[in-house]
Structure 1
């Protein structure tokens, strides 16, 4: 068990006057135990309270032989897991639960503990996990270093006639070669006008001379995610493509420049967005500037115009401005940044200058 992480959770519970908490999301359980468990329809839950109770209730189909620091309580498919969980819960005290906990379990628990006060406790985990500890920072750096190598190898394999979907499939083998167990998210490869769709799904489009190529990829290595976007050009680049690329590049740099402890996320978003808006392309930057990253590729909070919370040392998030011109092309450039004492460290090192392949 990660004792320091648990201590931070207990401190946060005390701060928000939530004396007991049920933790059920796979990423939160991994954060505390180092065990990634996809239990499907079967309940998997950690229960903790301020008196020191630490229980891990899990189906016997998922044996845990290592010492997790929690008391392991198992059940089989003929048993009701709620019956295993409720004896530890004080029905007279507020109970925090995961916002995504299956309603079938929550309803049964509330039926059994009539009158218990249940609240969303996920913000406690979110608040603790948003600040990365030293071990997490090292893992995130390693994941991004691998992502740099992967995108370099992928780009070297691009040639005229390549299909988006084939390049995306090739990433499975490239990531595996570097010890990455899975994608952080489904890879996005977009040629030409497909790049005008920020969340385009790679398809059978064939690469042609003059196409822009958006490559948005990430892999999960040792439980932690990478995420990076680069836009390159095949064969040649037009003056219009060059103009748009340089604007997005400057927006990316200005967003990164604005990152430091105490700055509002909304001000970082503004720093990037103003570059694009002042050039007359504001309506074509259609998404937030970034999102936090860790065990999950999209974690709270985000870099957006409506987020007025302040940046803190130890946060890791993306800076990914873009311009998307319908029926023409799109450009996005994305880096992950680690907030440091007096600024930030960029976790990606792959070149961001205009690249024609």
Structure 2
């Protein structure tokens, strides 16, 4: 498992990201980028808003203009201590003042701006009222690849998160499943992720027996029985970057049909991972996995996309799905997670995080993909 704490990102790192975002916006025909509290703001500046409120906080980026963070005065000291503070100007506003009037001069009165997806509607409406000639488009639509290509430092963090998830899986296989509730296994997964360095656990799916046919089943009170197939899907953040892995285990010996379905999913997952290389479209990864499952007669039971990007959030662009023509480039990281879900019976999913390399792809998860037999 990858050990140690990576070196922190510097003001220079954040400046490079802000400059890239501003230039990408200009290349896309946008007047600039407006970033509200959330993962985009963290990635661009290192600033974690300690208490998100109705008070406007907004990073304004535009090519040829100094990055500026509009921030409530009472939050300004925290913003000034953020890692990227030296690379931007802070413009604070006090209660009783109109934050949109403070922000308006930074937007030059007009233009089309990319806005982070989690911006509050009340803030966009406030800006539109102050700047009636301005318009807005979501960053996912306008700049979907903004965070998609990871640098070496980001890849180091993603590898560490993947290794921690692998260690978690190796440990969970040792515990008793039969006679225990799904919630019990979910709590152990969460505890293990934290033991192996995760600061945040985002999900611990434990789908036993018929519950495994629901890809996003919430672990519940069902008691796991011998003879159950159990889908395990878990992940979160370590060093600020995501893990997400799925394995399907069986309590006791599986039937011939269960082995067959698991083998089909494993073959589909392997084929899709092997297909990863620069220049192919995201949809091609989905097509490869889907063809294996469809040819085996289970196409109607593969009911979700093959994968999603991962970085400072566990789900982000790019998406491995039909219709996504974005080409893969080195540094992209995403899940490859085909599945088969037989309603009322059982499900199977196998998932690794894969990064695109100059000549192919590399898995960031290394645990065995064979069906594990647990007690």
Q: 1:295 to 1:327 in 2, by over 3 A?
A: same
Task: Give the 3 Å change call, closer, same or farther, for CA 39–125 of structure 1 in structure 2.
Answer: farther
How far residue 77 of structure 1 moved from its aligned partner, in angstroms, is 4.2
SS at match of 1:11: helix
Q: 1:14 aligns with which of 6, 26, 29?
A: 26
Native 8 Å contact 1:181 1:221 kept in 2: yes
1:98 and 2:116 are equivalent in the alignment: yes
State the distance in 1 between where 2:101 and 2:245 align. Answer: 45
Residue 113 (structure 1) aligned with residue 131 (structure 2): yes
Q: TM-score, normalised by structure 2?
A: 0.90
Corresponding residue number in structure 2 for 1:34: 46
Q: Does 1:315 align with 2:327?
A: no
Q: How does 1:229-268 map to 2 (within 5 A)?
A: 229-268=246-285
Check if 1:291 corresponds to 2:308.
Answer: yes
Give the equivalent residue in structure 2 for 1:168: 186
Q: Distance in 1 between matches of 2:173 and 2:97?
A: 52
Root mean square deviation of aligned Cα:
1.8
1:5 aligns with 2:5: no
Q: Please list the CA deviations of residues 284-327 of structure 1 after superposition, one character each: whole Å capped at 9, or x if unmatched.
A: 11111111111111111211122222111110011101111111
Decide which of 112, 123, 126 is 2:144's aligned counterpart: 126
**Counterparts of 1:33 and 1:125 in 2: how far apart (Å)?**
18
Q: Which runs of 5+ in 2 are unaligned?
A: 1-10
Matched, 1:352 2:369: yes
Aligned residues: 356
Partner of 2:71: 58
Please list the CA deviations of residues 74-107 of structure 1 after superposition, one character each: whole Å capped at 9, or x if unmatched. 3344443223212322014433323432121111
Query: How far apart are residue 123 of structure 1 and its match?
Result: 4.2
Aligned counterparts, 1:259-278, within 5 A: 259-278=276-295
Q: Structure 1 residue 187 and structure 2 residue 204: aligned?
A: yes
Q: Tell me the residue number matched to 2:8.
A: none
User: Does the CA-based 8 Å contact 2:19-2:63 persist in structure 1?
Assistant: no
